[in-house]
Structure 1
Amino acid sequence: MAAEPLAPGVWGVVATPFTGSTQDVDAASLAKLVDHYSRIGVTGLTVLGVFGEAVRLSAAEKRAVLEVVVDSADLPIVVGASSTSTAPVIDEVALATEVVGDRLAGAMVQVNTPDPELLARQLDAVHAATGAGLVVQDYPLVTGVAISAADLAAAVERVESVVAVKAEAPPTPPAIATLTARTGVPVFGGLGGVGLLDELAAGSAGAMTGFSFPEGLKACVDAWWRGGYQAALEAYLGYLPLVNFEAQARIGLAVRKEALRRRGLISGSGVRAPASGMPETLAEQLDRHLAAVENVEN
C-alpha cells in the first residue's frame, strides 16, 4: 500500500450518531452525514476519531461504521486508532485496511510517548504489520502525552510511512511552523477549527476537524488559497462564534452533535458515557448561533 501524502484541504471528521435510549449506531444518520460531506466537496473523511467516539465503540460497531462510510461516499478515508499501545493499534489499523481497502488514505495513530526514537519505532511497527500510511495525531488532551514539536518532527523525519501530521497540542501555530519546516509532510490543524486562520498562516495544509458547519472550514481554506489571509478572514468571520461555542470544555462533543441534529444531518444527538450531554440552558444560545450562520450561508 503506497504511502502518499494526504491531499491538502478539509478532511471532514465524522461523528458517530446513535439512536435514542439504546444508543445503537444509527447507520441511516451516518450515511446522511457522510453524503453531506461529499456534497459540499471536502477533500476526504476522517472516521473513528475522537469526535467519532471510537474509544466507546465495540470492534463490531467500528466495522459497521466503516462499512457505512465506504458505501455512502466515494472519498478517500483516514481511519483513527483509539488505542495507544502498539498491539491494539495494529489490530485497529488492520481492521481499517480490511474494510476500507484502497480508499484508506491513512491510519491515524496517536503520539504515545515523548521520546522521538520510541515513537518512530511504534510507527514503523504499525506500518510493517499493516502496510498503511500513517497520520500522526498529537493530541495531549486525550492521550496525556506531551511531546515537543521538535521531537515530533524528529520522529516523523525518521518514518517514511507518515503521510500527514494532525497537530492538536496548543499552541498549534508554532508547532505547525516547526513541523512543516522540518518534515515536508502535510500538517493539518484540528481542535474544532478554533485556530484555523493562524494555522494556515503557519503553513498548515488545511483542517482535519469536526464542526457542525464544515462548509465554513472549506470556505476559509479555499479563500486562503485564492486570496490569502484577508480573504480567509472574511470567509470565516461569520462562523467563528459557533466555532467558539462548540469548543466548550467537556460538552463540546454534545454541543456539536446537537447542532448537527438541528441542521437535520443526524436524527439524534446522544453521546455515550462518560461524555456529558449539552446543558438545556444552552439551547437558546445554540439556536442564535445557528441562525447567524444560516444568514451567512444565505
Structure 2
Amino acid sequence: MRLDATASGLFPIAPTPFTPDGRIDEASIDTLIARYLKAGATGITVLGIMGEAPKLEPEESLHLTTRFIAGMGDLPVIVGVSAPGLAAMRWLAHAAMDRGAAGVMIAPPPSLRTDDQIIGYYRQAVEAIGTDIPFVIQDYPLTLTVQMTPKVIRQIVQDHPSCVMLKHEDWPGLEKISTLRGFETDGSMRPISILTGNGGLFLDFEMERGADGAMTGYAFPEMLADVVRLSKAGRRDEAHDLFDAHLPLLRYEQQQGVGLAVRKYVLMRRGFIASDAQRKPGSALSATARAEVHYLLARLAARDSRALAAE
C-alpha cells in the first residue's frame, strides 16, 4: 500500500521495545502490533522521535521496520527517515519502501531558521529520496525548534506532489489546522491528510478543526481511536467526555524528559511490552513518579475500565 492524502484514523507512533540489557525485544514487537490492531489502528509509524530512532544502528532500524511491515499486513506503515545527512535518509527510505513501507516521514533539521531554508531543505530531501516516495512533513517546533508557517507548508505541498500528509504537532496549533483547511477550500493548496501528535493533548479540538486522525503514542491508543471515531460521527460530547477522563494521565505523560519513561511504564503495565527499558541514554521513573502514575490509573479506571489491568 502506498500512502496517500486519504489516510485517516489512528497511526500510533510505536515505541521501540528493549530488553533491560538494551537489546531489541523481538517478542514485544509482535505483542505491540497485536495490541495496536486490537485498539483500532488504521496504520502505524515507526522510527519516530519517541521510537528512540537515533539510538539504533542502521541495520536495526531496517530490521524493526521489516518486522512491523510484516505484522501490520495490509495496513500502511510510515517510516521516520530523518537523518543529519541526505545519504542516510535516502538509504533508509529506499530500503524501507523496498520492503513494503507505505511512505516516509521527514522532519526538518533544527538548524533551519528561514522560510527559504525550510522550503529548500524539503526540495533537497525529495531530490535525494526520489519523487515517487510518498512523504509526510513532520511539523514539531517544540522539539525541533523549526517554525513552519501555514504558507511554508502550503508551498512544500504545492511544490511536491509526493507530499501527502502533515504530522501536525505545533503548540498552539489549532489555528494552523484551520488555516491549512482554508487553503484547501479556496483552492490554493491541494488536499492532504493531517494527523496530529503531541501525545494527543489537543486531539479533541484538533478533530473539530479538520484533522483526519492521530499519529502519536499515548499509552491508551484505544482512547485515541475512539475519540477520532466519535468526532467523525458527530458525537461531540461523548468524544470530549472520554478525552477528559484520560486528560490527567495524558498530561502527566507529556512531561519533558520523562514522558517516554511514563509511556513505556504504562504500556508495560498494560502488557503491550515486556519491559519499560530505554536504550541508554534514557530516563527512568522514580518510586514517587511510579506511585503517581498508579494513582492516575486508579482514577482513570473509575471512568474507563480499560485502565483496570494497569493499576
TM (norm. structure 1) is 0.91
Deviation at 1:63, TM superposition (A): 1.7
| Change in CA separation of 1:2 and 1:24 when aligned onto 2, cut-off 3 Å | closer
Secondary structure (helix, strand or coil) at the match of 1:156 reads helix
How many pairs are equivalent? Answer: 293
- The residue type equivalent to 2:65 in the other structure is L
Give the corresponding residue for 1:141: 142
Q: Is the contact made by 1:2 and 1:133 (CA closer than 8 Å) also made in structure 2?
A: yes
Identify the match of residue 106 of structure 2 among 101, 104, 109.
109
Q: Confirm or deny that 1:210 pairs with 2:217.
A: yes
Q: Give the gaps of 5 or more residues in structure 1.
A: none
Distance 1:6 1:276 in 2: 37
Per the alignment, residue 71 of structure 2 pairs with 72
**Which one-letter code corresponds to 2:156 in the other structure?**
A
> CA contact under 8 A between 2:15 and 2:52: conserved in structure 1?
yes
- 1:44 Cα deviation (Å)? 0.6
> Match of 1:51, SS?
helix
| Residue in structure 2 matched with residue 176 of structure 1 by the alignment | 177
Query: How far apart are 1:262 and its partner, in Å?
Result: 0.8
Which residues in structure 2 correspond to 1:53-64 (within 5 Å)?
53-64=52-63
Structure 2 Cα separation of the partners of residues 117 and 267 of structure 1: 42
**SS of equivalent residue, structure 1 residue 227:** coil
Instruction: Report the equivalent of 1:35.
Output: 34
Q: Quick one: which of 255, 259, 262 aligns to 1:252?
A: 259
CA distance in 1, matches of 2:93, 2:201: 29
Contact 2:258 2:283 in 1 (8 A): yes
Aligned counterparts of 1:85 and 1:67: Cα–Cα separation in 2: 22
Corresponding residue of 2:15? 15
Distance of aligned partners of 1:295 and 1:73 in 2 relative to their CA distance in 1, 3 Å threshold: farther
Aligned to 2:203: 196
Correspondence 1:86-125 to 2 at 5 A: 86-99=86-99, 101=100, 104-112=101-109, 113=112, 114-115=115-116, 116-125=118-127
1:84–1:162: structure 2 CA closer, same or farther, 3 Å change rule?
farther
Is contact 2:177–2:211 with CA below 8 Å preserved after alignment? yes
d(CA) in 2 for partners of 1:6, 1:70: 20
How far the C-alpha of 1:228 sits from its partner, in A, is: 4.5
2:50 alignment counterpart: 51
Contact 1:46 1:78 in 2 (8 A): yes
TM-score, normalised relative to structure 2: 0.88
From 216, 223, 245, the counterpart of 1:238: 245
Structure with greater proportional strand content: 1
Q: Tell me if the contact between 2:268 and 2:274 (Cα under 8 Å) persists in the aligned partners.
A: yes
Greater shift in the superposed pair: 109-118 or 159-168: 109-118
Task: State the distance in 1 between where 2:219 and 2:159 align.
Answer: 36
- What pairs up with 1:157-172 in 2 under 5 angstroms? 157-172=158-173
Return the letter of the residue paired with 1:107. V
Which is bigger in relative contact order (C-alpha 8 A, separation at least 6)? 2
How far apart are the structure 2 equivalents of 1:86 and 1:244? Answer: 35
1:274 to 266, 271, 281: 281
Measured in 2, the distance between the counterparts of 1:209 and 1:239 equals: 15
Over the matched positions of the two proteins, sequence identity in percent amounts to: 32
RMSD: 1.9
> Is the Cα contact below 8 Å between 2:18 and 2:277 reproduced in 1?
yes
Aligned partners of 2:268 and 2:275: how far apart in 1? Answer: 6
- Range moving further from structure 2, 40-49 or 89-98: 89-98
Gaps of 5+ in 2: 184-188, 306-311
Deviation at 1:2, TM superposition (A): 5.4
- 1:82 and 1:288 map into 2 onto residues whose CA distance is 37
- Hey, what's the Cα distance between the residues in 2 that align with 1:260 and 1:294? 15
Map Cα deviations across residues 184-208 of structure 1 (whole Å, 9 max, x no partner): 2111110100011121122111110
- Partners of 2:3 and 2:252 lie apart in 1 by 36
Per the alignment, do residues 127 and 181 of structure 1 end up closer, same or farther by CA in structure 2, a change over 3 Å counting?
farther
- Matched residues in 2 for 1:40 and 1:2: separation? 23
Deviation at 1:84, TM superposition (A): 4.5
Please tell me the residue identity of whatever aligns with 2:130: A
Q: Hey, which bits of structure 1, 4+ residues long, moved more than 4 A?
A: none
